[in-house]
Amino acid sequence: MPQPRVKLVVTGDDFGYCARRNRGIVECFQKGAISNVSLLVNGMAAEEAAEISKRHSIPIGLHANLSEGLPVCDTLPKGSSLVNEDGYFHGKMGFRKALRNGQLKMIEVEQELKAQVQLFCELTGQLPHHMDGHQHVHVLPGVRDVFARVLSDHQIRFTRVPVEPGLHHCAWLSPQLRGFYLQVEQDSLDSIPVFLKHGIRWPHAYIGLTTVGKSMSVASLKTALQNAVGTPSPTSGSENAEPRSRCDLTALPDSSQKGDATLTVELMVHPGYPSLPQEGGCGEGPDDFSQSLERLHELRTLTDPELRRLYKEKNIQLCAFRDL
């Protein structure tokens, strides 16, 4: 069998978070290290990011944010279920806790998501090529249904389904992070019927959970890519069983049936220069990951010539969601 040709969408998340994040993402794009970006419209540097994307013709989508910083919808009621007493979103885990406790009103989730799409259009002059969720909120129960309707209503065709082959065997993840990622995986699998119902599509495979921050290296990216294009494993009830990795989970056509060996993969990345204290964020300052050297580590890994050689050797072509 000939080796598959892979179309790889390398998405730089959190565009607009701060000026130093924008600078790093643009540097990666200009060096051919990323091919796509996802914009936080409530980021402190969102307007700058939108202008940069126009100037450099960077393919851009919306990183829908319901968990960090300030909402953008000015018609949310006072004391909205989406925010705490200080007016900020509940946070990565706080949002999930509020959802479990039945405290979130889905009508307010819909209002905020629609407002973010509208602001995206105002900033960029176009609809998003794709839309995903900051901290994977878009696949959470209840939220996924509202999210899918908003995409369908705005004719946004692509999203992210973070089910990563090889996750179950990733020994370097901490127990806490592994548990979080496994829950993201299950939420993503549960989202597939909802997304299919609304005609939403996504690449054949996804990688990026096992290669975040200090876990990223050319070697770990090579392993993740090998797992992504490998033969799908059947779903079973065993603890370490992998979910099926690509064509049976995707809303893209199975190209193998047409004699076309091309596979599509999305790689989620977070490159950038570390945020300065009290500079950037989404309204309440930058978080620890944003200020860490792990962002710079990702930038350096993604621009490593060795990674370019790997892409060439494996017949991997970078592209954007708009090219799928």
Q: Which of 123-127, 157-161, 227-231, 276-280 is least confident?
A: 227-231
3-state secondary structure string across 64-76: ECCCCCCCCCCCC
CB–CB of 166/227 below 8 Å?
Answer: yes
Predicted pLDDT of residue 169: 87
1 is a domain residue: no
> Could you give the percent of the chain with pLDDT greater than 90?
78
Q: Residue 204: give its domain's CATH number.
A: 3.20.20.370
The per-residue pLDDT for range 169-187, each reduced to its tens digit, is 888 888 999 999 999 999 9
Q: Are 280 and 43 in contact (CB under 8 A)?
A: yes
Q: Which of 13, 14, 132, 187 is catalytic?
A: 13
- Show the DSSP H helices in 198-304 as ranges: 218-229, 288-291, 294-302
Q: Which helix (H) or strand (E) holds 176?
A: helix 175-197
- Residue in this structure with the two tokens 């900051």, named with its chain if needed: 134
Which residues form the domain of 301? 6-323
Closest CA to 8 of 268, 193, 211, 191: 268
Q: Which helix (H) or strand (E) holds 263?
A: strand 263-269
Strongest mean pLDDT among 128-142, 251-265, 275-289: 128-142
CA dihedral sign, ordered 218, 318, 254, 152: positive
Alpha-carbon torsion (290, 292, 296, 298), positive or negative? negative
pLDDT of res. 3? 54
Provide the number of structural domains found in the chain: 1
∠ CA 66-146-93, nearest 5°, is: 35
Q: What is the pLDDT of residue 242?
A: 54
Beta-carbon contacts of residue 169 (< 8 Å; ≥ 6 apart): 240, 242
Q: H or E segment at 268?
A: strand 263-269
140 and 99 in contact (C-beta within 8 Å)? yes
Q: CB neighbours of 127 closer than 8 A, spacing ≥ 6?
A: 117, 120, 121, 154, 155, 156
User: Which of the four pLDDT bands, split at 50, 70 and 90, describes residue 2?
Assistant: low
The answer to whether 13 is a known catalytic residue is: yes
pLDDT of residue 4: 55
Partners of residue 266 on adjacent β-strands:
9, 206
Residue 114 lies in a domain: yes
C-alpha torsion 169→172→175→177, nearest 10: -100
Q: What is the pLDDT of residue 229?
A: 86
The answer on pLDDT for 273 being more than 50 is: yes
Angle (CA) 141-191-123 rounded to 5° is 85
Q: How confident is the model at residue 233 (pLDDT cuts 50, 70, 90)?
A: very low
> How far apart, in whole angstroms, are the C-alpha atoms of residue 200 and residue 196?
6
Residue in the block written with tokens 């065993």? 238
User: Tokens standing for 243?
Assistant: 């979910």
Mean pLDDT of 295-306: 97
Answer yes or no: are the C-beta atoms of 215 and 300 closer than 8 Å: no
What amino acid is encoded at 287 in this protein? D
Higher pLDDT, 233 or 214: 214
Within a domain: 37: yes
